[in-house]
Amino acid sequence: MGQPTGQTLAEKIIARAAGQDSVRAGEIVTCKVDLAMIHDSGGPRRVKPVLERLGVKVWDNSKVVVISDHYVPAVDQQSAAILKLTRDWVKEQEIESFYDQQGICHVVLPERGHLKPGMFVVGGDSHSPTGGAFGCYMFGVGATDMAGVLVTGETWIRVPETIRIDWRGSLPHGSSAKDMMLKLCATLGMDGGDYQAVEYTGSTIAGLSMTERMTMSNMAAELGAQAGLIAADGTTADYIRAAGANPSEGTPFRGDEDAVYRVTHEFDASALGPQVAAPDSPANSGPVEEADDVAVDQCYIGACTGAKLEDLRMAAEVLGGRKVASSTRLLIAPASTRVTAAAAADGTLAKLTEAGAILMPSGCGACAGYGAGVLAEGETCMASTARNFKGRMGARSSKVYLGSPYTVAATAVRGRVADPRPFLAENGA
């Protein structure tokens, strides 16, 4: 054993959940789960048979949040049956927090005040690292793992090493958290996170809004990390208060000065322009100037990572006063019903629909290839989503490019992959 050293943010949260004074990277510990979140796809339809087989109910109905977002609204008998099963199970298990078709789980969970700093949270979805934006250790698991959590209220975890990603400088106008993440995917690769914890630090992160921080944490999944953490600060507390919850119920842990990180990567945000990921991997990213000049059949602003209020405002900044090219179509699925309401109230939605955007219900449908908005064979899409795996958004020969909401909007106007900056400059935005 060497000199005693400080703890990382990840170690502090995990130690608390494990009921220990401290933990060390590499150690396997059992943690008490503060909250478990499941959705209609990997949730009730998959965990119900396991719980029935074991003859038990959920360990604590006040600590389970169920959100239907993957098969909403039902597009066929199969998805309708899955949603019905979800509703019936919630009643049977007397779950207190159920959000039926109110938006995408990773956005709805914090929006309704469920996340507070220091919590140890397990989600039945791979983009669960989104909760890390609130200073929570939140990670995704499969349904069988989740069934174990629902039965016992506990799960095992190998204490991760922390990969620190430090961003300095202020983002130029026209660039966003999505561009920062695509840059990270290209630089570090989809296994750069190595199933460890990523922690974002630095002045750029401190200056980001909560919804932009959520994009950073969300796409920690695309780095292959288990969690994507940002230490809670005043911005976090303000968001939680606005969500109607009490931030002081949480513990705003910070990593110690002498904590051990596996590595620290440093990035300069002030030099970062819009990025585009070519098919079939987010790691296949580069500056928009170097992107393929391809025509796109569909533009999509949606998903947990790209359709929050701020994302819609970015799109509106580009689209205001312009029209979607006749050669393409722009589908917009706001991340939640609250986002839709707020965007309606501040005039954002009008700018989008006047430009010719098609407004869709909130949900995961097109992004995951589960519902409305999927692609035909050979079609190309530019999307604000997190993932562009082969065939993800529909037919197996379809192709997906990823960009920020600015870039998707500019692409919709041009009908081909486009740099949003000239549009923003012309709009005087």
CB of 57 to another protein, least distance (A): 16
Pick from 5, 6, 54, 248: which binds another protein (CB under 8 A)?
A: 54
For another protein, the binding residues in 385-424 under the rule CB under 8 A are 387, 389-394, 396-397
Tokens in use for 182? 């695509």
Which residue's CB is nearer to another protein, number 55 or number 244?
55
CB of 140 to another protein, least distance (A): 4
CB of 338 to another protein, least distance (A): 25
Per-residue binding string, another protein, 13-42, x by CB under 8 A, is ----------------------------xx
Q: Is there binding between residue 50 and another protein (CB under 8 A)?
A: yes
Distance (Å, whole) CA 23 – CA 159: 7
* Contact criterion met (CB below 8 Å) for 416 and 294: yes
CB of 42 to another protein, least distance (A): 6
For another protein, which stretch binds (CB under 8 A), given 98-106, 285-293, 352-360, 367-375? Answer: 367-375
Per-residue binding string, another protein, 270-289, x by CB under 8 A, is -----------x-x------
Q: Is there binding between residue 383 and another protein (CB under 8 A)?
A: no
Cis-peptide into 287, omega within 30 deg: no
C-alpha distances (whole Å) from 277 to each of 134, 168, 289, 383 are 27, 23, 12, 10
H helix intervals, 93-121: 105-111
* Contact criterion met (CB below 8 Å) for 97 and 103: no
* Residue 172, φ and ψ in degrees, nearest 5: -65, 155
State whether residue 120 is helix, strand or coil. Answer: strand
C-alpha triplet 220, 348, 313: angle, nearest 5° = 30
Q: Is there binding between residue 145 and another protein (CB under 8 A)?
A: yes
For another protein, the binding residues in 57-96 under the rule CB under 8 A are 71, 76, 78-79, 82
Angle between helices 77-92 and 44-54 (to 10 degrees): 50
Tokens 């993932």 found at: 387
CA-CA-CA-CA torsion for 134, 140, 145, 149, nearest 10 degrees?
10
Beta bridge partners of residue 39, listed in sequence order: 67
CB of 145 to another protein, least distance (A): 6
Pick from 24, 27, 29, 46: which binds another protein (CB under 8 A)?
A: 46
Distance (Å, whole) CA 156 – CA 32: 9
341: CB partners within 8 A, 6+ apart? none
Report the side by side order of strands in the sheet with 197-201.
227-229, 197-201, 162-168, 263-268
Tokens in use for 145? 């793992």
Q: Is there binding between residue 102 and another protein (CB under 8 A)?
A: no
For the beta carbon of residue 379, count every other beta carbon within 10 angstroms. Answer: 17
Per-residue binding string, another protein, 315-354, x by CB under 8 A, is ----------------------------------------
Pick from 44, 110, 148, 250: which binds another protein (CB under 8 A)?
A: 148
Tokens in use for 415? 């009908």
Which residue's CB is nearer to another protein, number 143 or number 309?
143
Which residue's CB is nearer to another protein, number 370 or number 423?
370
Pick from 44, 117, 131, 140: which binds another protein (CB under 8 A)?
A: 140
Pick from 124, 247, 279, 373: which binds another protein (CB under 8 A)?
A: 124
Q: Can you give the binding site for another protein, defined by CB under 8 A?
A: 41-42, 46, 50, 53-54, 71, 76, 78-79, 82, 123-126, 128, 140-145, 147-148, 190-191, 194-195, 221, 224, 226, 281, 283, 368-370, 374, 387, 389-394, 396-397
